Amino acid sequence: MESSTNTKLRVVFNASQKSLNELALNDLLMTGPVVHGTLYNILLNFRSYHIALTGDIEKMYLQVQITILMLWQKPGHPPAEYGMNTITFGTTCAPFLATRTLQHLSEDDGKKYSLGKQTVKDFYVDDCLTGGGTLEEAKEKRR
């Protein structure tokens, strides 16, 4: 069992918490369109490979560099400016931002890593379900 001295923490914002004006941050953020395949199609495609590979992008939201500036004002106080430089857990737009970033990277580097560009379609947010027809193809995809 982990103790409080070695337990890893991840800050998650309650962006659905209503403020005094009955609005929450998530009420004001755009969700963004769904830009990845359906889980059904990803699972169906995964079953077609002879060699299976699964993976997860560790701490994906924390790896995406993005500039977010917010103004926050408590009643009777001047506004304060806050900034973040990673995707914020708990916001409605986080899954879109992370997935779209992955797709953008595949578009930018697709000529250099054509197999990687093809593999991006096998992701559901930060989880990859892919594989290869041969062991060599699966190893190359993994690399």
Residue 111 is which amino acid?
A: K
- Asked if residue 15 belongs to a domain, the reply is no
Which sign does the torsion angle of CA 127, 133, 134, 140 carry? negative
Instruction: Give domain status of residue 7, yes or no.
Output: no
Q: For 109-142, write each residue's pLDDT tens digit.
A: 888 888 888 888 999 989 999 999 999 999 988 8
Position 103 in a domain: yes
Q: In Å, how far from its chain's centre is CA 54?
A: 16
Write the pLDDT tens digit of every residue in 16-57: 999 888 999 899 889 999 888 899 999 999 999 999 999 999
Cα–Cα distances in Å, from 52 out to 47, 139, 143?
8, 10, 14
- Domain assignment of residue 76, yes or no: yes
Q: What is the domain range of residue 120?
A: 59-142
Contact 95, 64 (CB under 8 A): no
**Domain-located, residue 44:** no
Specify if 107 maps to a domain: yes
Its pTM surpasses 0.85:
no
Number of domains observed in the structure of the chain: 1
Chain center to CA of 70: 21
